[in-house]
A and B are shown apart, each in its own frame.
Chain A
Amino acid sequence: MFEARLVQSAILKKVLEAIKDLLTEATFDCSDSGIQLQAMDNAHVSLVSLNLRSDGFDKYRCDRNLSMGMNLGNMTKIMKCAGAEDTVTMKAQDNADVVAFMFESKNQEKVSDYEMKLMNLDQEHLGIPETDYSCIVKMPSQEFARICRDLSQFGESMAISCTKEGVKFSSAGDIGSANIKLAQTANVDAEEEAVVIEMQEPVSLTFACRYLNSFTKATPLSAQVQLSMSADVPLVVEYKIGELGHIRYYLAPKIED
């Protein structure tokens, strides 16, 4: 028996919005410790890694490990039926071929039950080693989304260069070029508005704007985003999901011919 309850269904809606650009279907691996999802996009260029800890749910029970393959388009249709203030409960029996979603309004005046068929998906998990990154940039997530949107007007790819002075985002194409530099903030009132750089060595890497823009669909989940970079390894873009967990995106760099 699996059962996971979130008072704020809005969080699950936002999680779904954050992954459905990159993935059409995915397997949710449920265990005693929580819900994990790891999947690559069709081109095997980016990877989504979602971790929702069991202790972050308002109620959580998972008697046996369970892998639930879901079509994310269909899951989106169901989650759209939940009111923003509704509580959501996901339930499945052991070895079930369906997952149930129950939405309850604030005073339980309205209770809606939906069932969705599960799928058997071929899963390919990549082993991602613990890495000490040369540069870790923490910045406001909305600022990162804005930069990705603005620079993708200039070219298909964008360079991210990090030094101890700051982080520079640049792009170039037919219409011209764009450069945005962010300095580390000296002092800020609100922690979520800060730009913080932890640098061991300067790094400059180039990435496809299309994927970065997809990652920024997670912006509503967190006020801050963390970019982890080292030479010649994939970028990690991480959004915390409150006390519940995190979503990480991995993106392979582009290499000059």
Chain B
Amino acid sequence: TADQIELYAYYLPD
């Protein structure tokens, strides 16, 4: 199984 990561882990809100 693999965990789905959210985009917030890579990109921050402007």
Q: What residues of chain A have their CB less than 8 Å away from a CB belonging to chain B?
A: 40, 43-47, 124-129, 157, 206, 208, 233-234, 250, 252-257
Q: Determine the main DSSP class of B at the interface with A.
A: mixed
User: Which single residue of chain B is at the shortest CB-CB distance from A157?
Assistant: B2
Minimum CB–CB distance for A133 against chain B, Å: 13
Residues of A within 8 A of B2 (CB): 157, 206, 254-257
Q: Which of A46, A157, A206, A256 contacts B7 (CB 8 A)?
A: A46
Residues of B within 8 A of A126 (CB): 7-8, 11-14
In the complex, what distance in Å separates the CA atom of A197 from the CA atom of B3?
Answer: 28
- The answer to whether B5 touches A253, judged by C-beta atoms less than 8 angstroms apart, is yes
- The answer to whether B3 touches A254, judged by C-beta atoms less than 8 angstroms apart, is yes
- Count chain B residues whose beta carbon lies closer than 8 angstroms to a beta carbon of A: 14
Q: How many A-B residue pairs have CB under 8 A?
A: 56
Residues of A within 8 A of B9 (CB): 252
Q: Which of A40, A47, A124, A254 contacts B5 (CB 8 A)?
A: A254
Residues of B within 8 A of A127 (CB): 11-14
Q: A45-B6, A252-B10, A256-B2 known; 16 other A-B pairs, CB under 8 Å?
A: A44-B8, A45-B4, A46-B7, A47-B7, A47-B11, A124-B13, A125-B14, A126-B12, A126-B14, A127-B12, A127-B14, A233-B10, A234-B10, A252-B5, A252-B9, A257-B3
Would you give 7 A-B contacts (Cβ < 8 Å), ordered by A?
Answer: A43-B6, A45-B5, A126-B7, A127-B11, A127-B14, A252-B7, A256-B3
